[in-house]
Amino acid sequence: MPFFILSLIVQVALVVHVLKTGRNMSWIFILLFFPLVGTLAYLIVELLPEWTNSRTAHTLRRSVAKSVNPDGDLRRATQQLAVADTVQNAMTLASLLMDKQRYDEAEALYARYLKGINASDPLLLLGIARAQFAQGKFEAAEQSLDTLRQKNPEFRSPEGHLLYARTQDELGRSDAAIHEYDALRRYYSGPEPTCRLALLLQKRGDHDQARELFQGIVDESQVAGKHYNSVHREWVAMARRETANN
């Protein structure tokens, strides 16, 4: 059977499969106008996970899905918020906007829900602080974080603590930033606060203390597992460079 006829049969069969199984209708466009790439993508994204049901297959599915439809998650989250106007759906959409570096839209969305009974919600306040920080609005971010702490004294968030320390750093409050980074590094799960502390100390001329902190990160990376070094590779690499240069 000629390749063209075979590919046409496969193409039609997959279009029928899309219609029968209720898949996203955008697949039909992809299969019709990009038959070879579309067929391969459909097999990997929609059919392979069903056939294998493995973690690797699902990871591959997500990767290819983002390549074929990079804004799919964003559109679904927007539609979900339109259907169910809840704080949780709003935060999901805002988080996706942050991932897309659409920080001003994320900030506006967080602000829209920071009212009434949700005016002191810690997750909303942390979210808007992240969006403000990403735009360089450091004083606004600090104010949001201060409100979070005042309204929710029992709330604990390592990421929020790190954001507060970085805000102090960006505002030029070195002593406060050093204090916060030093407190963070004693319980934070990764080396980022220690690296940031070492960089700040280095900037102030405390080279010996900075070198000691960087060396500690390198030593830990040598006994930590592959996962640790993969997740924190940016900071581990920085520590290795700094120790090698000194």
Residue 163 lies in a domain: no
Q: What is the pLDDT of residues 167-176, one digit of tens each?
A: 999 999 999 9
For 150, counting Cβ atoms within 10 Å of its Cβ (0-12 exposed, 13-18 middle, 19+ buried), the class is exposed
Task: Decide which of 28, 53, 68 is a domain's last residue.
Answer: 68
Q: What is the pLDDT of residues 59-96, one digit of tens each?
A: 555 555 555 555 668 888 989 999 999 999 999 999 99
Residue 160 lies in a domain: no
Query: pLDDT-based confidence at 40, cuts 50/70/90?
Result: confident
User: Could you tell me the CA-to-CA distances from 214 to 75, 170, 187, 210, 219 in Å, in that order?
Assistant: 43, 21, 17, 6, 9
The three-class DSSP label of residue 232 is coil
Shared domain for 50 and 25, answered yes or no, is yes
For 230, counting Cβ atoms within 10 Å of its Cβ (0-12 exposed, 13-18 middle, 19+ buried), the class is exposed
Distance of CA 118 to the CA centre of its chain: 24
Shared domain for 89 and 50, answered yes or no, is no
pLDDT of residue 18: 72
Task: Decide which of 68, 89, 114 is a domain's last residue.
Answer: 68
Least confident of 29-33, 107-111, 138-142, 184-188: 29-33
Q: What is the pLDDT of residues 104-153, one digit of tens each?
A: 999 999 999 999 999 999 999 999 999 999 999 999 999 999 999 999 99
Neighbours of 181 (CB within 10 A): 27
Shared domain for 226 and 205, answered yes or no, is yes
Residue 165 lies in a domain: no
- Structurally, how many domains does the chain consist of? 3
Segments forming the whole domain that contains residue 150: 71-155
Task: Decide which of 155, 183, 205 is a domain's last residue.
Answer: 155
Site of tokens 């990767």: 63
Indicate if the pLDDT at residue 4 is higher than 60. Answer: no
Query: pLDDT-based confidence at 194, cuts 50/70/90?
Result: very high
pLDDT of residue 205: 93
Using a pLDDT cut of 90, give the percent of the chain over it.
63
